[in-house]
Amino acid sequence: MTSGTTTKWVYDFSEGNKDQKDLLGGKGANLAEMTNLGLPVPPGFTITTDACRHYLQHGGTPPELDAQVSEHLTALEKAMGKTLGDPADPLLVSVRSGAAVSMPGMMETVLNVGLNDESVHGLAQQSGSERFAWDSYRRLIQMFGKTVLHIDGDLFERILDEVKSEQGTDLDLDLDAEQLEDVVGRFKAIVEEQTGAEFPQDPREQMDMAITAVFDSWNADRAVVYRRRERIPGDAGTAVNVVAMVFGNLGPDSGTGVAFTRDPGSGAQGVYGDYLQNAQGEDVVAGIRNTVPLADLEDLDEPAYDELLSIMSTLESHYRDLCDIEFTIERTKLWMLQTRVGKRTAAAAFVIATQLVDEGLIDMDEAVRRVTGDQLAQLMFPRFVSGGDATQLTQGMNASPGAAVGKAVFSSETAVEWADRGEKVVLVRRETNPDDLAGMIAAQGVLTSRGGKTSHAAVVARGMGKTCVCGAEELQVDTKAKRFTAPDGTVVDEGDVISIDGSTGRVWLGEVPVEPSSVVRYFEGEIDPESEDADDLVRSVHRILNQADRVRRLDVRTNADTPDDAARARRFGARGIGLCRTEHMFLGDRRRFVEKLILADGDEERQAALDALKPLQKQDFLEIFEAMDGLPVTVRLLDPPLHEFLPDLTDLSVRVAVAEAEGHHDEGQLRLLAAVRRMHEENPMLGLRGVRLGLVVPGLFAMQVRAIAEAACERRRAGGDPRPEIMIPLVGAVQELEAIRGESEQVLAEVCSDEGIEVKALIGTMIEVPRAALTAEEIAGSAEFFSFGTNDLTQMTWGFSRDDVEAAFFHQYLDKGIFGVSPFESLDRDGVGRLVRIGAEGGRAARPDLKLGVCGEHGGDPDSVHFFHEVGLDYVSCSPFRVPVARLEAGRAALGGERAGS
């Protein structure tokens, strides 16, 4: 924002509000909002994300920033009646990051800025506690050294452990002022040894260096990894919040904590959170000391507890959502340090959304916007059941639900290494820190022996939908020896299989069996959402999906090749089949018929092979039409090259050579080898396949169309309502489609005439070749529908061979930021999406009633569903288990809900 010709880079908390997250970051915007609500927020100011972007782009802060920071610092000093770093009565500040989208623990924070060798004595005098002053100075040097000066944090931890060992204690709290002063001296020596300079004594220099460090932390490795996973734009930048320090480590009448207005794990209402007496905020989040439940605060400080509950109620009503709150109590005075819409588990998201509807805070449309398809997909994962040979070792805190089984590993690096080679692992740590992010992503779940529901591990795991058990205090975790010991003496070494249940907190040695989730049982029809068997989660999913179905424009079909898949998809809410792959019907025992077709010597043998295949195809179609009675079934004629149904060239060559060497001469095998060699292609995905097969192999597509028509007639005769659609694959020119369409119409007419039954079958094509999208206006003249085959369209647009590139170099492309997510997972809107848009617009220009759909894997990807809604497609088609996800996202797209990664 500019004022006249000067850009405003700094805002006082009284100048902002919660709707300015893009400018002030989430933390700054919410501190401003709480200030405006009259809540007890320490004074402070926010340096905007614009300033961070300027710094990152130009390699330095804006010229006006220094003066603006000085102006707001002066105002802060006036409000507090203190001066930054004053030797007699110092004002201390925290310097905190705060991006627009929450990135817990990924960027830097520095507390107690302003302390130095002189002001530490003034702080001791004013607080009446020498120990508190030296502990605060120790914390500043440790945090500043690690985050600003980039000194290895383990160097400080070792000194602290040495001093505690010398005093015969494991607790920081047992160190007195003299011992902490000794720690400060040793910490300062580390700084000078590692940097060649003394620890900075100028308070303003400390603050400016801390601000720059926060800006730099935007591009720290862990922040980049987190943004990539959460699809947060890399150019957004972070704001910096400079806040007057309030202290939770002044004694037993002080403390710090984190509170949730509802349980972020289940959505249940109540008092949830953690509290730690005589501590600063990072002690809670780091999980270094185990907390007590928030409810215990009522016994420790009832007035502060009552005030906190009142503020929690105010914030939840104001934000109309679950709020995550950080607070500090300084000698019985409550201060609010942060609030945000809290991260929650997938189950809690659905339950809380319907609770807020019932409380009149939001309507059902907003409830649909509040949940995502990714969260719904998480709820469909299996869960543990009792039984099996696994032995329960202990029970910790149920920090993030789910069932995780894997080999125990004790470092982030090992988790990544083992996962990369296909191993399922569970990351075990005493406590996690932001540097463990890569290992947490790679692992099936996370287990820690320290920390609570608001520790780093718990917060990050919930945000990622990752199973997590925290605070399993009975476990003795030895990361150096790569093992942990259970209370009964059982030793679990790296590589041993363990199971963790994030819903109950239980930990087992061995593999625990799993069962379908209640949500899947609901979709299968095993649980009536109105019955007593239904839990709050099932009822919430039922209500929200029904609302999504009411408001969505996009229909949802399924990709199914068998009657069982079709029936399951229908139970899951599919309104037809968008892709029935006929090639899957030629596998197994039926391969021999395809071999006969390929080896046919003349028209008679070829027709005999086709005649043998037709009744098998007809029965397949009949059963699928029955499962999808009354709904459209799009049957794709044979697409892959015929050689896929033949033995591998190398294997067959070896078999024939060995047989001949042993004196065996098999004429059939020799004919087969000759056929395999004849049909071998250097690039089969661009060779003889799809519509080209139908044009080159006489009678192949006609046989399939006849089987479809006869099955439809038989189903109609039995009183059914079959609705076949015939899809011709890999069309690149309208002439190809016209030739196959003509043949297909003739077969349909013959069958209907012979059977005396009228069956209407739409004829259309897949748009999977870029040329087809670019000439869609021509092709639409001969097609009644288009179905975008985005798998092949992506391959051909990018020039990627999917089977090769994903394993070969995609991880490097992701690491280098060439794309944030694989274009095979989420549609490339700029490239492939542009072709889809061109094809849709061109097709509808020529034929306004043209039906448009998509049948690639992108049809079940939440982000891609929003794009297909935007370009005007009629339906998406996806695998049966993704159908509920597509239904929900289609509803969210219609309501303008945020797409994934936005």
**DSSP state, 262?**
E
- Main-chain dihedrals φ then ψ at residue 581, nearest 5 degrees: -85, 110
Grouping H, G, I as helix, E, B as strand and the rest as coil, residue 359 is coil
Grouping H, G, I as helix, E, B as strand and the rest as coil, residue 171 is coil
Helix (H) or strand (E) holding 284: helix 281-286
- Give the chain's largest Cα–Cα span: 105
- Main-chain dihedrals φ then ψ at residue 107, nearest 5 degrees: -125, -175
Compute the CA torsion angle 426, 429, 433, 436 (nearest 10 deg).
-40
Question: What is the crossing angle of helices 119-127 and 130-147, to 10°?
Answer: 140
Q: Structure tokens of 138?
A: 């120790």
Residue 852's closest CA among 578, 582, 655?
578
844 touches 872 (CB < 8 A): yes
Residue 431's closest CA among 415, 445, 413, 452?
452
**DSSP state, 81?**
T
For the chain, first and last CA: distance in Å? 23
Residue 470's closest CA among 531, 410, 401, 561?
401
232 touches 99 (CB < 8 A): yes
Per-state percent for the chain, helix, strand, coil, to nearest 5: 50, 20, 35
User: Which residues are bridge partners to 323 per DSSP?
Assistant: 341
Query: How many whole angstroms from its chain centre is CA 149?
Result: 33
Q: Structure tokens of 699?
A: 């009678």
Residue/partner pairs of 363-368 with CB below 8 Å, 24 or more apart: 364/543, 364/544, 364/547, 365/547, 365/551, 365/895, 367/543, 367/544, 367/547, 368/544, 368/547, 368/548, 368/551, 368/888, 368/891, 368/892, 368/895, 368/897
Residue 52's closest CA among 195, 217, 207, 268?
217
Residue 340's closest CA among 621, 531, 54, 96?
96
Alpha-carbon Rg for the chain, nearest whole angstrom, is 33
Which residues of 598-700 form beta strands (DSSP E)?
A: 632-636
Could you list the active site residues? Answer: 456, 855
Q: What angle do CA 139, 289, 268 make, to 5 degrees?
A: 120
